[in-house]
Structure 1
């Protein structure tokens, strides 16, 4: 494994993916994008922390599924740190149930989605969204997971 994963568990919600599963999903994204030797933090939180972060950083007063905080090193510093993902366990579980998806498949999608955000992908414009979704579906397919869209 060439990815350094800082897996932070700040939730007692269950079930959540194992560190090995998260590592596999992150590495699937990096491999798809031709990257190696990267570092990423994935923090699993409860709704309270997720809501506070969403409020502080996006001015939205509710918990969301995944927040991405890309790391921007100064120009003279070469660091392979992508940034931080914060994933709210309760929101992911609720979405999976509402959308009739297997819970761990939805977790995989959220980790992949967030990691792509750290790599600079976005879905604000329709063309960007289509590109990002196409990449997500391809990576999920490689993992044996159906198209979430």
Structure 2
């Protein structure tokens, strides 16, 4: 039986960098889709683009004014509320992930790189739904939601400092 969420959430994946780059060569598109779909309770149409550092840097510079490649960028589309019966997605967004940055951060933080990738995909999907971390209360709400979703995949709390550096 197909779950309701699976039929309502569309996730397109674009690999703009080497898909066979370790340690991410074992991460297939279906796994990425499961992480993303777990974030949504309403209809959504999401594109996740995995990019090299040059493209990540250009996007971060052009859209955020920061001249470096970052781990995740979310570009939500401002959707008019046409009602639940419109058949249109409630959320639409492009999410850009830079695996080289994800891998580097994971090593620096003593995290499993695939778990870190899952966390950042979930983080980007929550941004697509309006979650932010500008204030302490907003950050706590977003982090708690991330932790809850990650638990479904048996991924530990990413905000706990690892002792295995």
TM-score (norm. length: structure 1)? 0.91
Q: Pick from 83, 88, 98 the counterpart of residue 88 of structure 1.
A: 98
2:54 and 2:69 in contact (8 A); partners too:
yes
Greater displacement, 9-18 / 69-78: 69-78
Number of positions where the alignment pairs a residue of Structure 1 with one of Structure 2: 145
Structure 1 residue runs without a partner (length 5+): none
Q: Which residue of 109, 127, 133 corresponds with 2:119?
A: 109
In structure 1, how many angstroms separate the alpha carbons of the residues matched to 2:38 and 2:82? 29
Report runs of 4+ in structure 1 exceeding 2 Å deviation.
73-79
Cα deviation code 1:75-95 (max 9, x no counterpart): 569531521000001000001
Rg larger in structure: 2
Counterpart of 1:65 in structure 2 is 71
Provide the residue aligned with 1:97 in structure 2.
107
How far residue 72 of structure 1 moved from its aligned partner, in angstroms, is 1.2
Q: TM-score, length-normalised on structure 2?
A: 0.83
RMSD (Å) for aligned C-alpha atoms? 1.6
Moved more, 69-78 or 4-13: 69-78
